[in-house]
Amino acid sequence: MGRPAILAAVLYGVAGLLIGPAGAQETKQETKPASGQAMVSPITQQQLNAADKSVNNFLLTNGNYAQTRFHPARQIERNNVKNLHVAWIFQTDVKESLETSPIVVDGVMYVTTSFSHVYALDAKTGVQLWHYNHKMGLVTTYCCGPNNRGVQVLGDLVYLATLDSKLVALKAKTGEVAWQSDIADPELGYSETMAPTVIKDKVLIGTNGGEYGIRGFVKAYDAKTGKLLWTFNTIPENSVGIWATKDATGRDMHRDIQAEKDQLAKTGDPFAKLGGGVWQNPAVDLATNRIYFVVGNPSPDLDGSIRPGDNLYTNSLVSLELDTGKYLCHFQYIAHDVWDLDAASPPVLVDVKGKDGKTIPGVIHAGKTGHIYVHDRKDCSLIRFSEAMVPQENMWVLPTKEGARMLPGANGGVEWSPIATDPGQGLAYAINLHQPMTYQVENSPYPNGKLWLGGAFKVIPGEAQAGNITAVDYNTGKIKWQVKTPEPMIGGILATAGGLVFTGEGNGKFAAYNSSNGKELWNFRAGAGVNAPPSTYMVSGKQYIVVGAGGNTQIDFRRGNNIIAFTLN
Amino acid sequence: MRGKLNLGISGVVALAAVLNVCTTPLQAQSIEEKTQVCTGCHGEDGKPVDKTIPVIWGQQAGYIYIELRDFKRGDRKSDIMQPIVSSMAREDMQAIAEYFSKKPWPDLGQPRASKEISDRASSANRSVGCTGCHLDHFQGDGTVPHLAGLSREYLTKTMADFRTRARGNNPGMSDLMLATSPEDLAALAEYLSGL
Residues A356-365 have pLDDT tens digits of 999 999 999 9
Distance of alpha carbon B71 from alpha carbon B67, whole angstroms: 6
Q: Which residue of B has its CA nearest to A1?
A: B58
Give the best residue of A7, A94, A138 to mutate against chain B (max B CB count within 10 A). Answer: A138
Catalytic residues of A: 340
- Which member of A138, A141, A556 has the closest CB to residue B98? A138
The model's pLDDT over A464-478, given as tens digits with 9 standing for 90+, comes to 999 999 999 999 999
A409 to chain B, any CB pair closer than 8 A? The answer is: no
Contact between B128 and A142 using a beta-carbon 8 Å cutoff: no
Q: Are B59 and B101 a contacting pair, CB within 8 Å?
A: yes
Q: How confident is the model at residue A40 (pLDDT cuts 50, 70, 90)?
A: confident
Tell me the residue type at A257.
I
Strands (E), A448-492: 455-459, 466-473, 478-485
The more confident residue out of A12 and B70 is: B70
For A537, other C-beta atoms within 10 Å of its C-beta total 27
**CA quadruple A538, A550, A216, A369: dihedral positive or negative?**
positive
Give the residue on A whose Cα is nearest the Cα of B141.
A24
Give percent above pLDDT 90 in chain A: 93
Give me the pLDDT at residue A41, please.
Answer: 83
pLDDT above 50 for B19: no
Question: Please, what sign has the CA dihedral across residues A327, A166, A563, A27?
Answer: negative
B74 strand-pairing partners: none
pLDDT of residue A8: 31
Q: How would DSSP label each residue in A263-324?
A: HHHHH---GGG-B----SPPEEETTTTEEEEEE--BSSSS--TTS-S--TTTTEEEEEETTT
Q: Is A161 exposed, middle or buried (0-12, 13-18, 19+ CB in 10 A)?
A: buried
CA angle A397, A492, A160 (to 5 degrees): 105
Where does the pLDDT of residue A2 fall: very low under 50, low under 70, confident under 90, or very high at 90 and above? very low
> Does B132 contact chain A (CB < 8 Å)?
yes
Q: Does A350 touch chain B (CB under 8 A)?
A: no
Rounded to an integer, what distance in angstroms lies between the CA atom of residue B16 and that of residue B35? 13
Q: Which residues of A touch B129 (CB under 8 A)?
A: 459, 554, 556
For residue A555, the chain B residue with the least C-alpha distance is B132
Interchain CB distance below 8 Å, A447 and B101: no
Do A451 and B127 count as a contact with CB atoms less than 8 A apart? no
**Residue A556 in contact with partner chain B when CB distance is under 8 A:** yes
Q: Name which of A124, A126, A123, A117 is nearest A151 in CA terms.
A: A117
Residues of B within 8 A of A115 (CB-CB) are 141
Of the residues B175, B180, B183, the best mutation for testing chain A's interface (the one with the most A CB atoms within 10 Å of its CB) is: B175
Full-model pTM: 0.93
CA distance B56 to chain A (A): 11
The pLDDT of residue A60 is above 80: yes
Contacts of B178 in chain A (CB under 8 A): 440, 442, 456
> What pLDDT, on a 0 to 100 scale, did the predictor assign at position A25?
61
Place A167 in a pLDDT band, splitting at 50, 70 and 90.
Answer: very high
What are the backbone dihedrals phi and psi of residue A278, each rounded to the nearest 5 degrees, phi first?
-125, 105
Average pLDDT over residues B69-77: 96
Residues of B whose CB is below 8 A from A187: 66
The answer to whether A128 touches A120, Cβ cutoff 8 Å, is yes
Q: pLDDT by residue (tens digit) across A224-239?
A: 999 999 999 999 999 9
A143 touches chain B (CB under 8 A): yes
- Mean pLDDT over B87-92 rounds to 95
**Residue A440 touches partner B, C-beta closer than 8 Å:** yes
Contact B62 A139 (CB under 8 A): yes
**pLDDT tens-digit profile of B94-148?**
999 999 999 999 999 999 999 999 999 999 999 999 999 999 999 999 999 999 9
Q: Does A424 touch chain B (CB under 8 A)?
A: no
Report chain A's mean pLDDT, rounded to a whole number: 94
Chain A 208-267, residues with CB within 8 Å of chain B CB atoms:
211
* B-chain residue closest to A143, CA distance: B133
**Is A120 or B28 the better-scoring residue by pLDDT?**
A120
Say yes or no: A8 contacts chain B, CB-CB below 8 A: no
Q: d(Cα B195, Cα B182) in Å, to the nearest integer?
A: 20
In this model, does residue B60 exceed pLDDT 70?
Answer: yes
B100 in contact with A at a CB cutoff of 8 Å?
A: no
Confirm if A502 and A545 have CB atoms less than 8 A apart.
Answer: yes
Determine, for residues B126 and A139 on separate chains, whether the beta-carbon distance falls below 8 Å.
no
Are residues A459 and B170, on separate chains, in Cβ contact within 8 Å?
A: no
pLDDT at residue A514 greater than cutoff 60: yes
The overall longest dimension of chain A from CA atoms, in Å, is 70
Instruction: Express each pLDDT in A310-337 by its tens digit.
Output: 999 999 999 999 999 999 999 999 999 9
